[in-house]
């Protein structure tokens, strides 16, 4: 009897332990679920039905080792990926920084514009998408500068849970009703050169840009400051896997919604911001009932606001680490001053993103497509860098990639290289 009680207490402590550890991986899921899921996955289902489910699962599988390295290397080497890149060579750290400077403002602008479009559902036509996006950017900066990491860490979990419950519920109801496409409807095929641009955009943010692995690394270092020795290698991998699996399953759920509610309906996806936001909420309302419209709109807004906040926080923290590292001898370890430039960088990113939004104005999908394609092109660089990290002497032998993960990593790098060549051919000769 007493042994059973002790076992139950051990299990309880274990569950409690992992609940405290959860954070960086969930933040990564929050960043992933934004543009790639609400927009790209829904589009994939709406245009092509179920045809791209296999590709989405494949891309998530091929990116998995490179994202996992964010947690694996950080816990094994006791430093962030940023210091690891510097150990490979200062030139690689400069390349990483340059690519992230570009990606940070483009991605921030894209997710802020989508969040502003959803905010417009509550405000109406009194403000433009540009003005609404500025409000989102300003609110995100205030939230981060006054609330810091702990607030972001605790709030995001519940936002993801709310969106997951609403989306999975809508999918089950839609499956029970069946799709809207007529039996004689012939879906367009994505397996041709004309569709390469869409496929590359879909894969770029599926489940997220690979440079997000550096955010996970930096967030883990922040979490270590809070939990100390309680955050161990196993706990960090559990946290990462929970976030990654959640984002993968929700990607399929959004494809299912697009396939069941929009595919074959004859309704074209809107390209302007507020019109697309209305369309997205209409998908849920048509399945779950009119009563759910404002609830779903609120959850979608919270999801995109958390994505905007997460993107600002992740890019600014990783870039701050880069700039601090440039002031250190090549290949030196962490200094404890990695967050020195975080808040100034957040402000600069917000201001530049605001200018980008003013340039693109209402062209939401064009803005997001540009960001997604850029992410896929750079994925090859980040994948290769992360793969190289695991062979550094700072990584003890027992923490290095196993044979299966090494093979999967090499297949992934070849896949990204091949698709980049195909995209280059498409852009030059087919588009």
Q: Is the pLDDT of residue 17 over 80?
A: no
Q: pLDDT, tens digit, for every residue of 31-72?
A: 777 767 888 888 899 899 999 999 999 999 999 999 999 999
If pLDDT is split at 50, 70 and 90, which confidence band does 6 have?
very low
Give the C-alpha separation, 189 to 348, whole Å: 42
48 to each of 43, 45, 158, 255, 276, how far by Cα in Å? 8, 5, 32, 9, 18
Peptide bond connecting 207 to the previous residue in cis, omega within 30 degrees of 0: yes
- Domain locations in the chain as residue ranges: 22-430
Q: Quick one: CA dihedral 175, 180, 185, 188, positive or negative?
A: negative
Q: Is the pLDDT of residue 9 over 50?
A: no
**Taking residues 224-252, what's their average pLDDT?**
80
Give the C-alpha separation, 322 to 341, whole Å: 10
Q: Quick one: pLDDT at residue 149?
A: 58
Residue 262 per-residue DSSP state: I
Q: Is the pLDDT of residue 123 over 60?
A: yes
DSSP string, 3-62: HHHHHHHHHHHHHHHHHHH-SHHHHHHHHHIIIIIIIIIHHHHHHHTTTTHHHHHHHHHH
Q: Quick one: pLDDT at residue 234?
A: 83
Higher pLDDT, 395 or 18: 395
102 to each of 105, 211, 381, how far by Cα in Å? 6, 12, 14
Q: Quick one: pLDDT at residue 72?
A: 94
Computed over its alpha carbons, how large is the radius of gyration of the chain? 21
Q: Quick one: pLDDT at residue 57?
A: 97
CB atoms closer than 10 angstroms to residue 400: 15
Q: Quick one: pLDDT at residue 8?
A: 40
**Contact residues for 267 (Cβ-Cβ < 8 A; gap 6+):** 279
Give the C-alpha separation, 313 to 216, whole Å: 11
Give the C-alpha separation, 295 to 297, whole Å: 5
Q: pLDDT, tens digit, for every residue of 289-339?
A: 888 888 888 888 888 888 898 899 999 999 999 999 999 888 777 777 778
Q: pLDDT, tens digit, for every residue of 145-191?
A: 887 656 766 777 777 788 888 888 889 998 998 888 888 888 899 99
CB atoms closer than 10 angstroms to residue 186: 7
220 to each of 4, 328, 421, how far by Cα in Å? 34, 22, 35
Q: pLDDT, tens digit, for every residue of 358-411?
A: 887 767 677 778 888 999 999 999 999 999 999 999 999 999 999 999 999 999
Helix (H) or strand (E) holding 366, with range, is helix 364-389
- Least confident interval from 206-210, 231-235, 326-330, 407-411: 231-235
CB atoms closer than 10 angstroms to residue 283: 22
What are the helix and strand counts (H, E) for the chain?
15, 0
CA 51 to chain centre: 22
Check: CB of residue 205 under 8 Å from CB of residue 28: no
128 to each of 105, 222, 350, 358, 369, how far by Cα in Å? 21, 37, 18, 11, 21
Q: pLDDT, tens digit, for every residue of 142-155?
A: 988 887 656 766 77
CB atoms closer than 10 angstroms to residue 155: 17
125 to each of 164, 302, 345, how far by Cα in Å? 29, 20, 32
Beta bridge partners of 363: 272
Higher pLDDT, 245 or 238: 245
Check: CB of residue 363 under 8 Å from CB of residue 272: yes
Beta bridge partners of 272: 363
CB atoms closer than 10 angstroms to residue 219: 29
Q: pLDDT, tens digit, for every residue of 83-120?
A: 999 999 999 999 999 999 999 998 899 889 889 989 99
For 22-430, CATH number? 1.20.1740.10
Residue 230 per-residue DSSP state: G
**Taking residues 69-84, what's their average pLDDT?**
92
Give the C-alpha separation, 206 to 255, whole Å: 12
Q: Quick one: pLDDT at residue 58?
A: 97
Q: pLDDT, tens digit, for every residue of 253-276?
A: 999 988 998 888 887 777 666 677
Q: Is the pLDDT of residue 11 over 60?
A: no
**Contact residues for 409 (Cβ-Cβ < 8 A; gap 6+):** 65, 66, 383, 387, 401
260 to each of 48, 230, 276, 278, how far by Cα in Å? 11, 44, 18, 18
Give the C-alpha separation, 229 to 234, whole Å: 12
Query: Using H for helix, E for strand and C for coil, what is the string for 312-343?
Result: HHHHHHHHHHHHHHHCCCCCCCCCCCCCCCHH
Q: Quick one: pLDDT at residue 96?
A: 94
Maximum Cα interatomic distance, the chain, rounded to a whole number of Å:
74
């Amino acid at each position: 009897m007493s042994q059973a009680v002790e076992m139950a207490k051990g299990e309880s402590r274990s569950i409690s332990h992992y609940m405290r550890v959860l954070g960086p991986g969930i933040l990564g899921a929050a960043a992933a679920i934004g543009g790639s899921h609400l927009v790209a996955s829904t589009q994939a289902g709406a245009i092509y039905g179920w045809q791209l489910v296999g590709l989405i699962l494949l891309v998530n599988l091929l990116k998995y080792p490179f994202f996992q390295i964010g947690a694996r290397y950080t816990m094994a080497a006791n430093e962030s990926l940023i210091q690891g890149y510097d150990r490979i060579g200062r030139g690689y750290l400069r390349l990483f920084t340059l690519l992230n400077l570009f990606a940070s403002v483009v991605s921030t602008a894209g997710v802020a514009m989508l969040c502003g479009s959803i905010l417009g559902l509550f405000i109406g036509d009194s403000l433009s998408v540009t003005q609404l996006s500025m409000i989102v950017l300003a609110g995100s900066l205030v939230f981060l500068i006054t609330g810091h990491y702990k607030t972001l860490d605790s709030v995001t979990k519940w936002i993801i849970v709310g969106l997951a419950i609403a989306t999975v519920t809508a999918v089950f109801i839609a499956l029970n009703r069946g799709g809207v496409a007529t039996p004689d409807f012939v879906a367009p095929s994505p397996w041709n050169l004309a569709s390469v641009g869409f496929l590359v955009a879909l894969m770029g943010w599926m489940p997220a840009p690979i440079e997000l692995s550096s955010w996970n690394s930096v967030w883990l270092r922040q979490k270590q400051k809070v939990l100390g020795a309680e955050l161990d290698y196993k706990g960090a991998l559990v946290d990462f896997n929970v976030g990654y699996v959640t984002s993968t399953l929700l990607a399929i759920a959004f494809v299912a919604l697009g396939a069941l509610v929009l595919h074959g309906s004859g309704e074209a996806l809107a390209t302007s911001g507020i019109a697309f936001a209305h369309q997205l909420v209409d998908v849920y309302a048509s399945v779950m009932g009119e009563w759910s419209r404002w609830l779903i709109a609120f959850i979608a807004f919270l999801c995109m606001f958390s994505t905007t906040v997460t993107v600002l926080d992740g890019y600014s923290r990783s870039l701050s680490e880069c700039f601090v590292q440039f002031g250190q001898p090549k290949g030196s370890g962490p200094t404890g001053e990695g967050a020195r430039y975080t808040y100034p960088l957040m402000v600069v990113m917000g201001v530049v993103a605001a200018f980008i939004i003013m340039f693109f104005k209402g062209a939401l999908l064009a803005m997001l497509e540009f960001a997604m394609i850029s992410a896929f092109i750079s994925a090859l660089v980040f994948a290769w860098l992360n793969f190289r990290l695991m062979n550094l002497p700072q990584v003890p032998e027992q923490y290095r990639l196993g044979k299966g993960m090494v093979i999967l990593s090499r297949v992934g790098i070849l896949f990204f290289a091949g698709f980049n060549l195909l995209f280059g051919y498409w852009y030059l000769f087919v588009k």
